[in-house]
Amino acid sequence: MTTDVVIIGCGPAGLQAGIHSSRKKASTVIIGKLQNSALHGAHIENYFGISGSADGSDLLEKGMEQALSFGCRHIGMNVTAAAKEGDLFRVTTESGEEIVCRSVIIATGISRKKLNIPGEKEFLGKGVSYCAECDCNFYKGLRVAVIGDESKAAVSSELMTRYASEVYWVSERILADGRLVDKASGAGVKIITGTPKEVRGKANVESLLLTGGPEIGVDGVFIELGGKSSSDLALDLGVMPETDDTLKVNNSFETSVRGVFACGDITGEPWQLAKAVGEGAAAGHYAAKRAKDMK
Ligand SMILES: Cc1cc2nc3c(=O)[nH]c(=O)nc-3n(C[C@H](O)[C@H](O)[C@H](O)COP(=O)(O)OP(=O)(O)OC[C@H]3O[C@@H](n4cnc5c(N)ncnc54)[C@H](O)[C@@H]3O)c2cc1C
């Protein structure tokens, strides 16, 4: 089967790319599992047009319905291989189905690094978060711990002082830029050297236990260890990821390989819904245009 556009990933970036691509009458296949999107289970407050908080899973389902209504085909599987064949691309799903396309869009997001300690998974969404920028507003007047060694943790700690009553920054060894560390300290962040051992609580997070103590009483734990992208598929297609694993794109959201586009979290920070959707729209538009120009 040959199609105009294949989109790998069905988070907000991939779905918006599908909507724009199929609206331009390009035959479009979106491949991926809706429930694996970072948006699944998130509560969104800072997206255009939302009053109060929107359920990320609802947004994904509506986005999928919209994409299908414009003619996209959806395959709810992972892509296991991709290859460049002349001016075309061959994408293979986990069931072995092969699709040849004129343009391919990589919208595979990033997976946030985990601590892998007891309580981390159990309290996800009940006090454990991987995104201070996203969830800060839910912790007004509460006590939080931010975990991480790099600049991202310093920035998140300082940000949380504008919402939380107390902010602890837990780091094994601070590797953040000195100016950011000073800014966080100046804003009232209490820096604790230690290794997180367990997130504890009943219905919600109540404390963070460090190896060898102490146990810090907190209502929220922000794990800010950065993220990693699924860039192996990009390598298969001849696109070399940046040193931080992101994919570099031009103004048309095309990578260094003609016909391979990328959008959403995989192109870099800020890891936010609005950026993912905006980039998806542009990538879908240009991928469809390239496919049509080839005919
Ligand atoms: C807990 C949490 C709260 C958040 N809150 C907010 C918020 O309040 N406001 C905000 O703006 N943003 C928020 N975000 C960030 C937002 O969800 C992301 O920026 C957005 O989802 C990125 O979209 P994306 O499409 O690039 O990636 P994702 O949504 O992660 O989607 C990537 C898709 O690619 C698929 N995929 C990966 N590899 C493959 C493969 N090999 N084959 C097929 N498919 C593949 C995945 O299954 C997934 O469907 C939050 C994120 C989290 C985790």
Identify whether residues 101 and 120 lie together within a single domain. Answer: no
Nearest to 284 by CA among 63, 22, 91, 59: 22
**Nearest ligand 1 atom, CA 108:** 34
Q: How far is the CA of 264 from the centre of ligand 1 (A)?
A: 8
- Answer yes or no: do 251 and 288 share one domain: yes
User: Token pair of 138, please?
Assistant: 């839910």
- pLDDT for 96 beyond 80: yes
Angle between helices 12-23 and 56-69 (to 10 degrees): 20
- Dihedral class, residue 78 (left if φ above 0, else alpha if ψ from -120 to 50, else beta): beta
Asked if 23 and 87 sit in the same domain, the reply is: yes
Residue 291 pLDDT more than 80? yes
Highest mean pLDDT among 78-82, 130-134, 222-226, 277-281: 277-281
Which residues are CB-neighbours of 154 under 8 A, at least 6 positions away?
Answer: 169, 174, 176, 177, 180, 181, 183, 184
Q: Tell me, what's the pLDDT at 222? A: 97
Q: Of 191, 223, 255, at which residue does a domain stop?
A: 223
- Residues 69 and 10 reside in one and the same domain: yes
> Please, which pLDDT band fits residue 80 given cuts at 50, 70 and 90?
confident
Domain match, 74 and 18 both: yes
For the chain, the residue count is: 295
Hey, what amino acid is at 214? P
Residues 23-26: contacts with CB under 8 Å, at least 24 apart: 23/70, 24/284, 24/285, 24/288, 24/289, 24/292, 25/288, 26/103, 26/287, 26/288, 26/291, 26/292
**Distance of CA 78 from the midpoint of ligand 1 (Å):** 15
Residues 290 and 208 occupy one common structural domain: no
Q: Compute the average pLDDT of residues 122-136.
A: 90
Which among 177, 205, 223 is the end of a domain?
223
| pLDDT confidence tier of residue 177, bands split at 50, 70 and 90 | confident
Residues 272, 277, 278, 284, Cα dihedral to 10°: 140
Last residue of a domain, one of 190, 223, 256: 223
pTM: 0.84
Q: Hey, what are 189's tokens?
A: 């962040």
Which residues constitute the domain of residue 165? 114-223
Which one-letter DSSP state was computed for residue 130? S
pLDDT band at 51; cut points 50, 70, 90: confident
Residue 202: per-residue pLDDT: 97
Number of domains comprising the chain: 2
CA neighbor of 31 nearest in space, from 65, 72, 75: 75
Average pLDDT of every residue of the chain: 94
In this structure, are 186 and 123 located in the same domain?
yes
Residue carrying structure tokens 């991987």: 130
Pocket (CB within 6 angstroms of ligand 1): 8-14, 31-33, 36-39, 42, 44-47, 78-79, 107-109, 129-131, 134, 230, 233, 264-265, 271-274, 276
Q: Mean pLDDT across the stretch 121-126? A: 91
Shared-domain flag, residues 195 and 280? no
**Distance from Cα 193 to the centre of ligand 1, integer Å:** 31
pLDDT at 47 over 80: yes
Say if residue 206 is in the same domain as residue 252.
no
Q: Distance between CA 135 and CA 124 in Å, rounded?
A: 12
Distance from Cα 280 to the centre of ligand 1, integer Å: 12
pLDDT tens column, 181-225: 999 999 999 999 999 999 999 999 999 999 998 999 999 999 998
More confident residue, 134 or 224: 224
CATH at 161: 3.50.50.60
Position in ligand 1 atom list of the atom nearest CA 280:
25
Q: Are residues 250 and 201 in the same domain?
A: no
41: Cα within 13 Å, side-chain hemisphere: 11
